[in-house]
Amino acid sequence: DQFVKDFGHLNMGQMTKLLLMDAHGRDTLAIERVENGQFIKADIFDHPVSFNINEVTQVDTPEEALSASLNKYGRVELDYMANLVSMTEDELTKSLEGKIYYNPLTWHYEVKDRFIAGNVIQKAESIENWLEKQKEFAETDREEYTPDPRVVESLEALKASFPERIQFADLDFNFGERWIPTGIFSAYMTQLYGTDIRIGYSESMDEFSVACSEKNMKITEEFCVHGYYRSYDGIALLKHALHNTCPDMMKSIGKDDNGNDIKVRDAEGIQLANAKIDEIRNGFSDWLEEQSPEFKERLTDMYNRKFNCYVRPTYDGSHQTFPDLDMKSLERRYGIKSIYGSQKDCIWMLKQNGGGICDHEVGTGKTLIMCIAAHEMKRL
């Protein structure tokens, strides 16, 4: 007040020009606003503006009650939501069917966007195990067992979200992939070399180890490369094949003045070693094709369970109404006639997670998203 009395309002005349000379001067101008043609102090001088100082006591829809619960507690609190919307918990869960699911592992309801996301196969198996244990407990107590319909509904929703299974013919198996059990590599190399080969893997060191009970001609001759300084037999080349590398072979082209070897890379030896390594690696796919259907099914199932099991969260914000949004003013001042579905989805994501990243292309309405989301989070 004293500053304005001495120098005038920030948004008038020379004061504005002076402030805009600073890189952050426009931020300073925001501490004043115009109301009825008069400059007054911004709201931040009177009360907090980053959160609602008044406790939310009533909302109009179950969806808004859900947003309020997530905004306050970060989770679904049915008793709090029921008080806000004047409904019983049963009525509330029925109204939010398909938007919240009961998770028996946490004994709480969770929003769809969090529950049906991540490793859904693992979640479904955990819930199936939970149901099986409940059945065993009931049988032990000699009671009639009826599965909780809430849990059954959640399990069905998880199973419906499973990614489409990738078949064996569509998969590309590479020799030395870390997720494939080393026993499969051992079986392949035992057949290729005609002797017992045992392969191990250390996850902490990311290193394969190879042991051979008895070397034969395939190891010492057929899959052996003789270099200038050393020979690389089938076991050495197998290690390179597992790590998808090639030995760096050197040869001497003479002596220097001190009598030391002048070393250069042995291109011919490296090429020969690389050819034998490729023969080992490429033969693995052909060997897999020759295996039994049961073997292929197990390997395919292993791949799908490990990699093809994740579901990204989806956010459906179509139910939002934004009661404080003046669409007529938006259309009159900015030509915005409606809120895009993508904007509603993004706003719903921000409201549920208490913030987030809105990585849309330029011109798709990110500024409006952030403004509406900030107001909604404050309102709720």
Does residue 148 sit in the same domain as residue 66? yes
Distance CA 220, CA 237 (A): 11
Does residue 182 sit in the same domain as residue 282? yes
Structure token digits, residue 209: 């180890």
Question: Residue 236: CB partners within 8 Å, gap ≥ 6?
Answer: 247
Question: Residue 73: CB partners within 8 Å, gap ≥ 6?
Answer: 80
Closest CA to 85 of 155, 349, 93: 93
320 located within any domain: no
Does residue 7 sit in the same domain as residue 92? no
**pTM confidence score:** 0.68
Domain boundary among 115, 136, 160: 160
Residue 74: phi, psi to the nearest 5? 80, 10
Neighbours of 307 (CB within 10 A): 12
15 located within any domain: yes
349 located within any domain: yes
Q: What angle do CA 267, 270, 273 make, to 5 degrees?
A: 150
Structure token digits, residue 174: 């590479």
57 located within any domain: no
Pairing relationship of beta strands 118-119 and 197-202 according to DSSP bridges = unpaired
Question: Residue 277: CB partners within 8 Å, gap ≥ 6?
Answer: 237, 240, 241, 246
Residue 139: phi, psi to the nearest 5? -65, -35
Does residue 191 sit in the same domain as residue 289? yes
Does residue 135 sit in the same domain as residue 177? no
Does residue 218 sit in the same domain as residue 287? yes
Domain boundary among 272, 307, 342: 307
Total domains, the chain: 4
Does residue 111 sit in the same domain as residue 132? yes
- DSSP E strand stretches across the chain: 32-35, 38-41, 100-103, 108-111, 118-119, 197-202, 207-212, 225-226, 231-232, 250-255, 261-265, 310-311
Distance CA 380, CA 369 (A): 16
321 located within any domain: no
Does residue 88 sit in the same domain as residue 205? no
Question: Residue 339: CB partners within 8 Å, gap ≥ 6?
Answer: 322, 325, 368, 372
Does residue 71 sit in the same domain as residue 195? no
Structure token digits, residue 328: 């007529």
Does residue 152 sit in the same domain as residue 174? no
Question: Residue 334: CB partners within 8 Å, gap ≥ 6?
Answer: none
Does residue 213 sit in the same domain as residue 298? yes
187 located within any domain: yes
279 located within any domain: yes
Domain boundary among 160, 183, 205: 160
Does residue 190 sit in the same domain as residue 256? yes
Print pLDDT tens along the chain (380 aa). 788 888 888 888 888 888 888 888 888 888 888 888 888 888 888 776 655 556 678 888 898 898 888 777 878 999 999 999 989 999 999 999 999 999 999 999 999 988 999 999 999 999 999 999 999 988 888 888 889 999 999 999 999 999 999 999 999 999 999 999 999 999 999 999 999 999 999 999 999 999 998 999 999 999 999 999 999 999 999 999 999 999 999 999 999 888 899 999 999 999 999 999 999 999 999 999 999 999 999 999 999 999 999 998 888 888 787 888 888 888 888 888 889 888 988 988 888 777 888 887 887 788 899 989 888 887 76
User: For residue 89, what are the domain limits?
Assistant: 62-160
54 located within any domain: no
